[in-house]
Amino acid sequence: MIEDLAALLAPVTPATFFAEHYDKAPLHVRGDAAKFAQVLSWRQINRLLDMSHIWTSTSLKLVLDSQAIPAEQFCTRATSRDNAAVLQPDAKLVQAWIAKGASAVMNDVDSLTPGLAGISAALEGAGLGKAQANVYISWQSHKAFHTHYDTHDVWAVQVEGEKSWNIWEGRAEYPIPHPVFRGQPQSHHDQARGRLRGVVHMKAGDLLYLPRGWYHDALAEAPSSVHVAYGVHAPLGMDLMNMLAERVLYDAEFRKPLPRQDGTASATFALTQRAGLLGQRLQELCRDPKVLQVLAQFVANYRFSRGGYDILAARGLGSSAAGGLGSTTATDGDAPGWRILAPGAKPVRRGADWVMKTAQGGVTVSPLEAEATIWLFGKPEVTEAELIARAPGIDAPALLARLEAAGLLARAA
């Protein structure tokens, strides 16, 4: 589980990141397939989407070859839990579009699983700002989005498959989510992106950091690709202006009417003088210790409020988080799975035994285990219960532990 910025960036250190890349230049960090295995898996994607009532035409979107698919074409009209009319994604319609190559975008998922929330906490805990995450599921040869920039820093976490990112030299100067920036035509972006800086080939376990405004586009290179894009919104100078707007309510100079304008030189002079006076008062407010204290607290605490519940502890009945009174055994649908890191691997016969080859040597398996591993490595992920059902005659926990130790699979979310 990713717990802090150091674990997210490893082997790059936070010190190197802040000195050479933060708000300066893109960074690609290579990792192994196990690094983000507990962030998100196909099993969890399906499980989240099966929670039909939480998805709407806003939180789940489909895009085919850079064209957004109208909600009416993958949603049906339904009644929400509070009896309101809503457009709700329909599994059959969604999967029909996916069969054609449509990319799926799951918005605002940054707290829906422990793995997703862990990276959110790591980014926010480093003081980088509010971390909001979307999942992008895409397919080979189908590009979801044209070249563009984002109005926030992007941290792309590759959890499945492979994807190539074109990183361009152009960078918009600190754009914000405002129509002035969001209304720019594609022709503007195609010209402003400049020359190609390089291509980053992302594999499962890789991380890509892009500063706000940096032009990019991406295309899946494997049969499938899943990455989680964390948009990190830092506090801005405009936030100080919002604070000052509240503070000037208590300053009579800002409540006075501005000098009436009748076209005379004296009226223009009076308005100029008043504007200068108000600007001076704003400057004084920006140096006010109380204002600076509020500003410092605002920046230090700039993160989303999420988590922190422990219902039993609130009643003094122990901690449900620690598995105490009231804890339940997870069902197979909730149970963590195992991600296959060597898909298609097969055991080879050596005397009376079978061996699964690894980079460090091999794992010896019995004939029954050999048969089970052929099935196991033909799947993207599996649970212990599924392996037991498939091969009841083997010690499934022991086999999974040996394969994990050998680096052939990893615990998934």
Instruction: Give domain status of residue 311, yes or no.
Output: no
100-128 pLDDT, tens digit per residue, is 999 999 999 999 988 999 999 999 999 99
Is residue 254 within 8 A of residue 313, CB to CB? The reply is no
**248 and 195 in one domain?**
no
Instruction: Give domain status of residue 54, yes or no.
Output: yes
**124 and 86 in one domain?**
yes
**70 and 19 in one domain?**
yes
Is residue 335 within 8 A of residue 401, CB to CB? The reply is no
Is residue 208 within 8 A of residue 163, CB to CB? The reply is no
**268 and 228 in one domain?**
no
**145 and 51 in one domain?**
yes
Range of the domain at 216: 5-233
**324 and 220 in one domain?**
no
CA–CA dist 191, 184 (Å, integer):
12
Percent residues over pLDDT 90 in the chain: 66
Measured from the Cβ of residue 120, the count of other Cβ atoms closer than 10 Å reads 25
Last residue in a domain, options 233, 265, 291: 233
Is pLDDT of 413 > 60? yes
Phi (first) and psi of residue 227, to 5 degrees: -135, 150
Is pLDDT of 359 > 80? no
Last residue in a domain, options 249, 269, 300: 300
pLDDT band at 334, cuts 50/70/90? low
Total domain count, the chain:
3
**196 and 144 in one domain?**
yes
| Amino acid present at 183 | G
Q: Is 329 exposed, middle or buried (0-12, 13-18, 19+ CB in 10 A)?
A: exposed
Is pLDDT of 99 > 80? yes
Q: Which two tokens stand for residue 174?
A: 């600190």
The size of the chain, in residues, is 413
127-156 pLDDT, tens digit per residue, is 999 999 999 999 987 877 899 999 999 999
Instruction: Give domain status of residue 244, yes or no.
Output: yes
Last residue in a domain, options 202, 217, 233: 233
Instruction: Give domain status of residue 140, yes or no.
Output: yes
Angle at 222 between CA 121 and CA 122, to 5 degrees: 5
Is pLDDT of 331 > 60? no
366-412 pLDDT, tens digit per residue, is 888 888 999 998 888 888 888 988 888 889 889 999 998 888 988 88
Q: Look at residue 315 in the predicted model and tell me its pLDDT.
A: 79
Phi-psi region of 358 (alpha: psi -120 to 50; beta: other; left: phi over 0): beta
**219 and 249 in one domain?**
no
Nearest by Cα to 58 from 93, 87, 91, 78:
87
Say which CATH number the domain at 167 has.
Answer: 2.60.120.650
CA–CA dist 192, 189 (Å, integer):
5
Is residue 175 within 8 A of residue 151, CB to CB? The reply is yes
Q: Look at residue 332 in the predicted model and tell me its pLDDT.
A: 45
Q: Which residues have a Cβ under 8 Å from the Cβ of 336 and sit 6 or more positions away?
A: 38, 383, 411, 412, 413
Q: Which two tokens stand for residue 281?
A: 């008062």
What pTM did the predictor assign? 0.83
**171 and 277 in one domain?**
no
Comparing 336 with 228, which gets the higher pLDDT? 228
Instruction: Give domain status of residue 315, yes or no.
Output: no
CA–CA dist 342, 348 (Å, integer):
15
- Counting Cα atoms < 13 Å in the Cβ hemisphere of 398 gives 9
Instruction: Give domain status of residue 23, yes or no.
Output: yes
**42 and 182 in one domain?**
yes
Instruction: Give domain status of residue 313, yes or no.
Output: no
**140 and 39 in one domain?**
yes
Instruction: Give domain status of residue 308, yes or no.
Output: no
Is residue 233 within 8 A of residue 299, CB to CB? The reply is no
303-325 pLDDT, tens digit per residue, is 998 877 887 788 787 665 544 33
**385 and 286 in one domain?**
no
Is residue 231 within 8 A of residue 153, CB to CB? The reply is yes
